[in-house]
């Protein structure tokens, strides 16, 4: 996708603090960290989950979960625990449509949904 910011990061057309990469997955630090460890994991391919994933793309989701484990180990939060989430749609505050998971850790993360938002 020409105008997708995460595609540009995946192609290294714009800079990012990359912490993991392989042929299918890239992980880089979120520009607005919400926790001491806040890494985004994306497929290199432009996938939009709200449009549905083809069976041929399902493998990359498993690859992302495996990469998340490696990132958590590297970042020192595998033992203490971490949260892996994907915002989907306006109520979740999704900004970028390219499939991505947030890996958050390094502190007690508290409630999944803050009470003041209820």
Residues 4-23 that bind ligand DGP (CB under 6 A): 5, 16
**From 63, 70, 87, 109, residue interacting with ligand DGP (rule: CB under 6 A):** 87
Binding mask 23-42 for ligand DGP (x = CB under 6 A): -----xxxxx-------x--
The span from the CA of 32 to the CA of 44, in Å, is: 21
The span from the CA of 47 to the CA of 58, in Å, is: 10
User: Largest alpha-carbon pair distance within the chain?
Assistant: 41
32 is catalytic: no
Report the length, in residues, of the chain.
Answer: 118
**From 90, 93, 110, 114, residue interacting with ligand DGP (rule: CB under 6 A):** 93
């Amino acid at each position: 996708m020409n105008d997708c910011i995460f595609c540009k990061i995946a192609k290294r057309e714009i800079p990012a603090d990359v912490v993991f990469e392989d042929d299918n997955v890239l992980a880089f630090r979120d520009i607005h960290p919400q926790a001491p460890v806040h890494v985004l994991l994306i497929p290199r391919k432009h996938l939009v989950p709200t449009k549905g994933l083809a069976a041929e793309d399902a493998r990359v989701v498993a690859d992302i979960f495996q990469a998340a484990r490696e990132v958590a180990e590297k970042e020192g939060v595998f033992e203490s625990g971490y949260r892996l989430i994907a915002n989907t749609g306006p109520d979740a505050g999704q900004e970028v449509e390219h499939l991505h998971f947030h890996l958050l850790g390094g502190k007690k993360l508290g409630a999944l949904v803050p009470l003041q938002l209820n």
